[in-house]
Structure 1
Amino acid sequence: MASLYIKNADTADLAREVAGLLGTSKTAAVHDALLHRKRMLETEKRTSIHDRFAAWRAAHPLGEPTGLEADKAFYDSLNDEDDD
C-alpha cells in the first residue's frame, strides 16, 4: 500500500480543513483535489491559446467607447499641467 506524507504543515492543515468540509478522509480530499487539477490541466492542453484568449475576452468585455479623445491636452490634464 502506498502512503503519502505531507511534510508542509500549512498543506496538511488545508487538507484537514477540506476533508472536514467534505466529510471525507484527508487522503480522499487530496485525491479529489489532484484529480480535479489533472482534469483542468488536460482540458487546457486540448484548448488552443487562441480559444482560451477568446473565452477570456468574452467573459471580460471592454467597456463602451466614451467618444472622448485622448489627445495631448487630456494627458496634460492628468498631471495638472498648464496648456503649452
Structure 2
Amino acid sequence: MPLTIKDDATADLVTQPAKLPDLTKQDVVRLAVQAELDRVQSAVPLRARVQALRAAHPLPPPTSKTTDKDFFDDLSDGL
C-alpha cells in the first residue's frame, strides 16, 4: 500500500533522517510510528499516577484545630 505525504514540511522531516546511511524513508516512518505507539502504550494514566503519588505521600490525619487567620495574614504581610 503506497503512502503519500502531501504536506511539504512533513515530507522534509522524513527526508532529513533518511539521508543517514542505512535508513530509507520507509525506515524513518516505521521507526517514528513504532516509537509513538510504544510511547502511547506505555503511558501511565493520570488517575493511576495520582493514586500512586497519594499512596506514597498520604495526607496527614485531620485535626480539630481551627485556622488562625490573623497568623497567616501576618505571615503574608497583609497581602
User: Shared topology, TM-score over 0.5?
Assistant: yes
Which aligned pairs between 1:17-56 and structure 2 lie closer than 5 A?
17-21=16-20, 23-44=22-43, 47-52=44-49
- 2:77 matched residue in structure 1: 71
TM-score by length of 2: 0.57
TM-score by length of 1: 0.54
**Percent of paired sites with the same residue:** 26
The structure that has the greater radius of gyration is: 2
| Alignment RMSD (CA, Å) | 2.4
In the alignment of these two chains, the number of paired residues is: 57
Residue type matched to 2:45 in 1? S
Q: Judging changes above 3 Å, is the alpha-carbon distance between structure 1 residues 16 and 50 closer, same or farther for their aligned structure 2 residues? A: same
For structure 2, the residue ranges without an aligned partner over 5 or more in a row are 54-74
